[in-house]
Structure formats: C-alpha cells, structure tokens
Amino acid sequence: MTNFYPLVSIVIPVYNGGNFLREAIDSALAQTYKNIEVIVVNDGSRDEGKTREIALSYGDRIRYFEKENGGCATALNHGIAQLKGDYFSWLSHDDKYLPEKIEHQINLLRELPEKKIIIYGGYQVIDKDSNVLYPVCPERVLPSHKLNIPLLPLLRGLIHGCSLLIPVELFRRVGLFDATLPSTQDYALWFEFFRVCPLHFQDRQLVQSRVHPDQGTHKIAKHIEECNELWCGFLRRLSDSEMVAMEGSPFRFLTKTAEFLEGTPYSTAAQLAHSMAGSALSRTQISVIIPFYNRIGWVIEAINSVQSQSHQNFEILLIDDGSNEDLTPIKQICNNDSRIKYYRQENSGPAVARNYGIGLACGEYIAFLDSDDYFMPEKLSIQLRYMEEQQLLVSHTSYLRVDLEKNPLGAVSAVGFSGNVFPRVIASCPVAMPTVMARTSLLKENRFPEYLHIGEDVCLWITLASKCEWGAIETPLSSVRVGPSTAAYDSRKQCLGLVGIAHFALSDPLFSSCQRQIKSLLTVAQTYLSDSTHTGSPSEHSRATTGGHTLRAKFYSSLKHDGVRATVRRVRRYLGK
C-alpha cells in the first residue's frame, strides 16, 4: 500500500525544559518521514521563560501551546485536543527519537493489513550527556510468538510510551490520560488501549530514553504507592481469558507476574499476585476418570482416595463397564456428593470406558484412576502445581506397589522417564495408569485404542510422547495393587499386552519406523511365553517349561528370519488374538 502516507502528530509535553527540550525538538524535526506535525505543550513552566524561548525559536516549524501547570497528563491531553494527525507519537522533552523512528513505523503499517494497530519497540537508555547506557530489548525477554500478545509486554514492564505509534481514534473511543495519576498516567491508559487494540512489535530501538536526577518520578513521594495501586488494579481487572492468552493459564500468568513484581519496589502488588495465583490454582478443576467392573469395595476405596484430596475442585466420572454386582453403595455415594457422576455402558473394556469418560470431562485436566488403585492425599495438588509451573501437557509420577491388603511391595520411580521419551517409550514404558495427569484438550484429540483390552494405556502414552514432552514427579503419589487377580501376575496377559502394543506400533506409519524399539519390546514379550503355557501341576509345569523354551526359540527365529510383523501375527494367533 504505497499510497499510505498518514499525518503523524508528535506531541512534546514539557515543564521546565531548558536542559533537554532543544534536543527533543531537533530529533522530532529530523525525522526522515516528512508528513508530521510537532506540537509542544508548555505545562506552566517556571524557569524564567527558558522553555518558551527555546520553543519559540523554531517559529512555524512547530505548533506551540502554553497552559496552566497541571501535570504531564493534562499537557498530553491538551496536545491531543490540538493535533490534526491520524497517528499520535509521544516524545518526552528529555528524550530523543532516532531519525527513522516514524518512517520505520509507517513502513510497518504499510505492510500490515490492519492499520488501526499500535506499533511499539525497544529503546536505548541514555545519560544526561546522551551517552548510551544500555538497550531495552523486549525480544530478549519474551519469545517471538508472545511479542504481539496484547497486554503482555505492558505487564512485563517493556512498554516505553515514546516508542508507541497510536491511532488517534483510540483516544476518541477509549479516553485520554488520567490527570489524577501524576506518575502512572501512561501505563493506566496503555492498559485500556491494549485491551481493545492489536499490538505489533518492531525489532529496532528508535527511541532514546534519558535518565537524570531531575526526572519527575524521582520527585514524587507517593510514586511507589501509586504504582502499587495501579498494578493491583490491573490484576483485579484482568479476566481469566486474558491471562490464558498471555501465559497459557491464570496460575502461570499470576505466578510470572509475581516474579516480575518482586524485582520492583511494588511489594503490595507482588503479594496480591502470589495470593491470586494460589486462588487460581484452587479454582482449576480436574476430572478423575474411574472405569470399573464389579469389585465395588475397591471402587469405593478409590473414590474415597479422591474425596480425601487436598485439592478439592474435582469431578469424579465413574464409568461402569457393565457390572453385575449390587451398585447401591456406589449410588449412595453419588447422591451424597454432587461432584461424583455415574455412567454405565455395556461391557466393552477399559479403553472404551476411559474414552467415554474423556468425552464427558469438564475439567481443565484429566487424571486416571483404576478401580483397584488409590491416590495419596496430595496427589492432585502436587501434580497440578507441577504441571502448571512447568507448562506441561502430560505428566506421571512415581508410585507404590502394594498387595491386595495394601501391604507395601516397593516403589517404582518415575525418574529417568521425562522430557522427550519418544521413541524409547515403545521399547519400555514405566508409566502406570493412576500416575498420569494430562490436559483435557490433549486427551480430547488423542484416545485409547479401543480394539485392545490389554496394553491400550501404553499405546496412548506412545502417541502422546510422539507429540509432546512428559513431566515426571519423583514423589510416589499413587498406590497400585498387584496380586493374583491383577494383570501383573498373569504372564499370558503380559505377553498379549506387549504384543498388542507392537501390533499398534506397526499399524502407525511413524511408530512402525522404530524397528529397533519394537524388536526390543518383542524380546521382552517372549520371556513370558513359557509361563503363559503353565497351568499348575508339576508334570504340566515340566511340559510347559519345555514347551516354553521351544516357543521362545521359534519366537527368536521368527524375529530373526521373518521380521517383526510376521512375528507379531504368529504370536497373536497363538495367544488367541
């Protein structure tokens, strides 16, 4: 859009500007973009006419106005009332523009489809003699994809008012500077602007901001109090959706804002941010999915372990997979706690039941709990905070193995299985179902394979690992029952599960390329073959052992000569799948 050539009004408010005003005006008039007007507003200076003398020396090259002293906000508002331009650019009387400041910003606007947008950038800090002290570079603080998120640069202290180029219509639509705020009138108005107007970052520092002993904010005794009030007001007014847009969740935004404010004198605002972060975490709902088939006593224990959580904002989705036992105790629990919801399906297996629960989940996170397992009291609280702080989509924890009477059998550590675990997750996956918590949005898009009744959980973990990193918590936060009635004691089920995982991997174009990991998985599967043939008596055990050796030999030969696909087909046929 080469014919885009709007008038830009540069407004310079000044009070006692005899020291630096001339440098500011000269830098404005030296702009390489020529369709500008320079407006100087004298805010009742008391410097024996020095400010007036400097301004009038420029004649009609600038537009000069005088007013009663009322503060910077009133001077800016007076200049805005007089301007004729389409865009507003503020220049403090002790700061300077580099010559291409306005031209660079107009060129950016020419390339953007939206012209009613605020342009901002970094700046250089200079001393009283115009020596550059250091640059302020927003791109070094925020990742590139966050530089244009409205409000975030402002709430990380990265906005310098003189770097902005603002559509004049925003003043008409939103309002002017608040004259009751001596030192925060700028950020107060930018907050209003940035909530309703898009933002675009320029990657050049074209403003020089001077620091010197005579600056106004150094003289305002209540500056810190005013800033605390400003920031507290920001925090209270922000919506959850605005905080999510900035940092992914209210908790993460508030935590990072508290960390930022701790580096400032605004301790009251920092404390408020910390307090609000804790409240945001407690408001986060977790959906706990418990599929079950009979064994009602264990189901009740699982439910009770969720009800005992320190984090109480949860819903429990009980998915009955066609139980035929008396469900009266379950229904009584549901009647007494509105957070517990009961659903029934025809017996279809755990994968279908969990997927049913995922479809029903209303929480921001989903946690899984098998009906024969149970949570430690801090499980949801610790894992939720960890995931929020680390910005994770999925995580697991260490867990305790217990027998059917809850006697401890040892711990299984999650350490070593975190970060990018693909493709090694195919060969070996230590993740237990009740240790997993994931973003609901992630699980809505990725489900358990319903054709598998054993190993379906690992198949989903493989899928998730191929798409995102896993978090791991060293502390055991769940207990997993193991015993003769569980799959861990059934060699045939173990073998069938591992082979099913291999079959799943071979059915996917990405996973099937991981031949080494699939072979490693099958090597583990073959160790269960001899036990899977054993039925009980000594003579049967002897025959099974001999047969097992033969099976393993055939398994090994098939892997070596025919490859993983043929081996998986043969083992699945042998095991009846």
Q: In angstroms, rounded to a whole number, what is the distance separating the alpha carbons of residues 366 and 460?
A: 14
Contact at 8 Å (CB) between 101 and 31?
Answer: yes
Q: In angstroms, rounded to a whole number, what is the distance separating the alpha carbons of residues 551 and 557?
A: 10
- Could you tell me the pLDDT band of residue 213, with boundaries at 50, 70 and 90? confident
**How far from 358 is each of 242, 381, 443, 569, CA to CA, in Å?**
26, 20, 7, 31
Angle at 163 between CA 157 and CA 168, to 5 degrees: 110
The lowest-confidence range among 46-50, 109-113, 178-182, 526-530 is 526-530
Share of the chain above pLDDT 70, in %: 89
CA count, 13 A, side-chain hemisphere, 283: 10
pLDDT exceeds cutoff 50 at 542: no
- Could you tell me the pLDDT band of residue 525, with boundaries at 50, 70 and 90? confident
Q: What is the assigned CATH class of domain 8-220?
A: alpha beta
The pLDDT value recorded for residue 399 is 98
Quick: pLDDT tens for 121-146: 999 999 999 999 999 999 999 999 99
Of residues 533 and 197, more confidence is placed in: 197
Quick: pLDDT tens for 271-299: 999 999 999 999 999 999 999 999 999 99
Count other Cβ atoms within 10 Å, centred on residue 45: 20
The pLDDT value recorded for residue 554 is 61
pLDDT exceeds cutoff 60 at 422: yes
Q: In angstroms, rounded to a whole number, what is the distance separating the alpha carbons of residues 187 and 42?
A: 22
Would 8-220 and 285-485 be classified into the same CATH topology? yes
The pLDDT value recorded for residue 547 is 43
Q: Give the homologous superfamily in CATH for domain 285-485.
A: Spore Coat Polysaccharide Biosynthesis Protein SpsA; Chain A (3.90.550.10)
The pLDDT value recorded for residue 556 is 57
Q: In angstroms, rounded to a whole number, what is the distance separating the alpha carbons of residues 370 and 353?
A: 11
The whole-chain average pLDDT of the chain stands at 92
The lowest-confidence range among 181-185, 401-405, 556-560 is 556-560
Quick: pLDDT tens for 450-491: 998 889 999 999 999 999 999 999 999 999 999 876 666 677
Q: What would the mean pLDDT of 371-385 be, rounded to a whole number?
A: 98
Q: What would the mean pLDDT of 241-257 be, rounded to a whole number?
A: 96
pLDDT exceeds cutoff 60 at 44: yes
Give the DSSP H/E element, type plus range, for residue 171. helix 169-174
SS (H, E, C) 260-302: HHHCCCCHHHHHHHHHHHHHHHHHCCEEEEEEECCCHHHHHHH
Q: In angstroms, rounded to a whole number, what is the distance separating the alpha carbons of residues 281 and 385?
A: 7
Q: In angstroms, rounded to a whole number, what is the distance separating the alpha carbons of residues 196 and 34?
A: 29
Q: Kindly list the domain boundaries of the chain, sorted by start residue.
A: 8-220, 233-282, 285-485, 490-577
The strand ranges marked E within 70-174 are: 87-90, 96-97, 118-121, 123-126, 132-136, 166-167
- Could you tell me the pLDDT band of residue 204, with boundaries at 50, 70 and 90? very high
